[in-house]
Amino acid sequence: MLVLSHILGFPRIGLRRELKQALEKYWSRKINKSELFSVGRELRIRHWRQQRDSGIDFVSVGDFAWYDHVLNTSLMLDNIPDRFRVNHSGHERKRNSSNCVDVDTLFHVARGATVNISEKSIIASEMKKWFNTNYHYIVPEFIYGQTFRLAWMQLFDEVDEALSLGHKVKVILLGPMSYLWLGKMRNNTSHNTSHSRLSLLPELLLIYRQILKMLSEKGVIWVQIDEPILVLELSERWCEAFFDAYRAMHGFTKLLLTTYFGSIHHHMNFISNLLVDGLHVDLVSGNDDLNVLHAGLPEDWVLSVGVINGRNIWRANLSFWCNRLFPFLGKRVIWVGSSCSLLHVPVDLDAEILLDSSLKKKFAFAIQKCNELRGLCNILNNAVVSNDLCTDNIVSENRLNINLATAVKKEHKKHVDEQINSDYLSRSNYTYRMQCQRSRFNLPLCPVTTIGSFPQTAKIRSARLNFRIGNLDQESYDIIMKQYIKDIILAQEELGLDVFVHGEPERNDMVEYFGEHLNGFLLTHNGWIQSYGSRCVKPPIIFDDVTRSGPITVKWITYAQSLTNKPVKGILTGPVTILCWSFPREDVTQEVLVSQIASAIRDEVCDLEKCGIGIIQIDEPALREGLPLKKSCWKNYLAWAVRSFKFITSVVSDDVQVHTHMCYAEFDDIIDSIVAMDVDVLSIESSRMSVKSLEILKKYRYNAIGPGVYDIHSPNVPSKEVILNRLEELIEYIEITRLWVNPDCGLKTRSWIEIKQSLFNIVGAVREFRVKNQ
């Protein structure tokens, strides 16, 4: 009974973000479909070869996606919302018609579309965070009583591709239960319960059976069927439905029921009765007991243990895992794997040419993680043969992980500790604050603002790069940045916005930028991970205590303010988001890290206020994402997350207006905590949502709120009429005096032409709206 190794998925974007470049070229019509396809094929071939060369036992097929793997599944199942079945001349195609969906359909669902003839925009499907990660998936939309059909053959083509290259293939498939769970019922709120989605299961299973049958006919033996929802606390109905689902899918290929992002012990009883051939558990995020797993699972099942962290970049402690696994060797079939897909880590550490080699030894990216798995597997298999575990070779390597802390500047650390341990007073109540702010800013009804970033130009990017590597001096760098800021201020004057921003030209990314300027962080050179579609981020690494040496953003924001009489909003990233979008050290708790970062951001807020900045926005788009997956752990997390936020804002005077911004997550669950943060203005993304889903805001009467009216992930430009309609709808839910108007999120991802037109339409709509409602 030899141990086998596998990963739950490889990063798809490419070492040099080749997929991103190809997608963006395709969208701007610089390359054609066959050129796009050949980039996809090359990436798959390369990634399979890298997996095989590393010596792991399977290559994973089915982890590639043009935009998102959940959307791939929707396409495969022909679950395309009816509004995208309109062809370009405006005629509706019917569901289940013989028309095949193609990659353009996929991009329309993800990014929205325009019907050529009428110029009418079709709203894209919603995008939400994939469990507690910063990866965004496209939310499947369902309608009551719908059927499915096998409509998109990409998976089968990829399987053929991999088999023809002689690989030993394991196919990855998103399981039907998780697929249903992740989707939403469209348009019919009375049907919009999780139970109603279950009513679609029998129809869905017909197609899953067909898929599995076809895979088995191709000779596929193992399918990794992903059911990450098993780590959640599911209702009895959902647990029961798992039986039906896995009974229906039994008998074609072998199924490895795959869970990740947490423990599954709360569902062990029913999981062990499902008709599958093995179970994968994430032993890094979860704390399942191997003895309990071994005792509770049928003895002929494979137990796949996720021991190499797919969410962080530190090397694994291989000797620890060897010792833990040794007692189970020979007792059942064991596979060792990554804890989850490697989608969440960068591709190759060897591309980090600027990282100090002594530091490099502490890290492992996707390829190195495959090597770790192979190494682990070898040691375990030697132990099987010799009945003795020898970890001599790896122990010394792992010692490098210990004693990470470098000499921290003591006075910074002392300041942080003092701040964290001191009490703070909440701000005055909102009514009083609002009066102070009203007399300070005298803003019009429904103020129009943006979320912070504006499109980055090639000039800005190269200035940043050259400055960083020493090819541009401070003075020349400042001139370029200031010129950009000037242009942005001027553009906002011309467009007639009410609260300005400086445009964030100095930031490559809202988290990496703060990582670059705070102590305790390390930046990578090429550590890209996919965030959504073609967009990638480069999370910084937190390797030490976080402290701040001096002001970070003050220079740019005060410069912007000096150019205009309109208030300029100082934009900072909140501590939870900085933590969630970094690769954190693992020797202290998240709570400690967040409080250290909060202390730094609080000092920045103080400095901004001292320099006359009257509106400060602290972005916390990841607040929901950091929420533990198990409800039982929510309270504790929310308590310290809210505390860290209020700890920051407690320092400002009542006439300073505090904003926060959140996006792309399900906020209903944590609305109490958002209310408890007690910011003066909250902006959220909402333009892909039906206005009904904002019902909750009616109940909560939030201090003031700006639900996004412009979908910044779509090339569509909203017309004045569309915005006016939306505003009319919104005031059914939000008192007009509390309403702000803004895009869904930062404008960095869009072109200037689109933005100018969109903001022009927004301001035009708001002006008419004010006249009507004043």
User: Could you list the active site residues?
Assistant: 713
* Binding segment (CB under 5 A) for Zn ion, from list 365-373, 416-424, 453-461, 661-669: 661-669
Judged by CB under 5 A, the chain residues 693 through 752 that form the site for Zn ion are 745
- The entry of Zn ion, ligand GLN, none near residue 748 (CB within 5 to 8 angstroms by kind) is ligand GLN
127 binds Zn ion (CB under 5 A): no
How many other β-carbons are positioned within 10 Å of the β-carbon of residue 549? 11
* 125 close to 688: Cβ distance less than 8 angstroms: yes
Q: Could you tell me the CA-to-CA distances from 98 to 87, 154, 209, 214 in Å, in that order?
A: 14, 17, 20, 20
Q: Does an H or E element contain 176, and which?
A: helix 176-182
Name the minimum Å distance from CB 708 to ligand GLN: 10
Site for ligand GLN in 119-178 (CB under 6 A): none
- Partner from ligand GLN, Zn ion, none contacting 175, C-beta within 5 to 8 A by type: none
Cβ neighbourhood burial of 404 (10 Å; 0-12, 13-18, 19+): middle
Q: How big is the CA angle at 569 (ends 567 and 571), to the nearest 5 degrees?
A: 170
Residues 693-712, interacting with ligand GLN (CB under 6 A): none
> With binding defined as CB under 5 A, does residue 571 bind Zn ion?
no
Structure tokens at 23: 């997608």
Binding mask of the shown chain, residues 531 to 560, with x at each position contacting ligand GLN by CB under 6 A: ------------------------------
Taking CB under 6 A as the criterion, the residue among 136, 688, 748, 750 binding ligand GLN is 748
Place of tokens 């935009």: 67
Specify the DSSP element, H or E, that contains 514. helix 512-517
Q: How far is CA 690 from CA 127, 296, 687, 695, 730, in A?
A: 13, 45, 8, 10, 10
* Measured CA distances, 576 to 138, 247, 418, 606, 645 (Å): 24, 42, 20, 19, 9
Give the nearer residue to ligand GLN in terms of CB position, either 167 or 517.
Answer: 517
Q: Decide: 447 and 739 in contact? Cβ < 8 Å.
A: no
Contact between 142 and 186 under an 8 Å Cβ cutoff? The reply is yes
Residue 536 binds which of Zn ion, ligand GLN, none (CB < 5-8 A, kind-dependent)? none
Please count the other Cβ atoms lying within 10 Å of the Cβ belonging to residue 219.
10
Residues in 254-313 at the binding interface with Zn ion, rule: CB under 5 A: none
Residues 37-66 that bind ligand GLN (CB under 6 A): none
Which two three-digit tokens encode residue 556? 């740019």
Position of minimal CB gap to ligand GLN: 746
Shorter beta-carbon distance to ligand GLN: residue 389 or 495: 495
As a three-state string, the secondary structure of 705-725 is EEECCCCCCCCCCCCHHHHHH
Contacting ligand GLN within 621-640 (CB under 6 A)? 621
What span, in angstroms and rounded, lies between the C-alpha atoms of 175 and 190? Answer: 26
The one-letter amino acid at 38: S
The residue among 175 and 621 lying less far from ligand GLN, judged by its C-beta, is 621
What whole-number distance in Å separates Cα of residue 316 and Cα of residue 310?
10
663 binding Zn ion? (CB under 5 A) = yes
Reduced to 3 states, what is the DSSP secondary structure of residue 61?
strand
Residue placing its CB nearer to Zn ion in the complex, 663 or 697: 663
Specify the stretch interacting with ligand GLN by CB under 6 A; choose among 336-344, 425-433, 451-459, 692-700: 451-459
Footprint on residues 185-224 left by ligand GLN (CB under 6 A): none
Q: Check: CB of residue 756 under 8 Å from CB of residue 743.
A: no
Binder among 453, 526, 534, 596 for ligand GLN (CB under 6 A):
453
Q: Which does 343 bind (CB under 5 to 8 A by kind): Zn ion, ligand GLN, none?
A: none
Pattern 490-519, binding to ligand GLN, x per CB under 6 A?
A: --------------------x---------
Q: How many residues does the chain have?
A: 774
Residues touching Zn ion: how many (CB under 5 A)?
Answer: 3
Is the Cβ of residue 43 or residue 127 nearer to ligand GLN in the bound state?
127
CB closer to Zn ion out of 621 and 706? 621
Please count the residues of this chain forming the interface with ligand GLN, following the rule CB under 6 A: 12
For residue 342, the tally of other CB atoms under 10 A from its CB is 29
452 binds, among ligand GLN, Zn ion, none (CB under 5 to 8 A by kind): ligand GLN
d(C-alpha 166, C-alpha 609), whole Å: 64
571 interacts with, out of Zn ion, ligand GLN, none, CB within 5 to 8 A per kind: ligand GLN
Q: How far is CA 220 from CA 9, 246, 288, 508, in A?
A: 17, 18, 30, 43
Shortest distance, CB of residue 467 to ligand GLN, whole angstroms? 20
Q: From the CB of residue 407, how many other CB atoms can be counted at a distance below 10 Å?
A: 6
Helix (H, G, I), strand (E, B) or coil at 426: coil
DSSP structure class, residue 260: -
Q: With respect to ligand GLN, which residue has the nearer C-beta, 452 or 539? A: 452
Of 255 and 663, the one with the shorter C-beta distance to Zn ion is: 663
Residue 522 or 684: the one with the smaller Cβ distance to Zn ion is: 684
Of positions 746, 755, 762, 766, contacts ligand GLN by CB under 6 A: 746
Q: Find the binder of ligand GLN among 162, 658, 663, 682 (CB under 6 A).
A: 663
306, 452, 574, 706: which one contacts ligand GLN (CB under 6 A)?
A: 452
Q: Is 744 in the site for ligand GLN (CB under 6 A)?
A: no
Give yes or no for a contact between 64 and 57, defined as CB atoms under 8 angstroms apart. Answer: no
d(CA 684, CA 70): 24
- Considering the complex, state which of residue 603 and residue 625 has its C-beta at the smaller distance from ligand GLN: 625
Question: Interface with Zn ion includes 621 (CB under 5 A)?
Answer: yes
Contact region with ligand GLN (CB under 6 A), list: 63-71, 434-442, 447-455, 725-733: 447-455
- What's the closest the beta carbon of residue 661 comes to Zn ion, in angstroms? 6
Residues that bind ligand GLN (CB under 6 A): 451-453, 510, 571, 619, 621, 661, 663, 745-746, 748
Residues at the interface with Zn ion (CB under 5 A) = 621, 663, 745
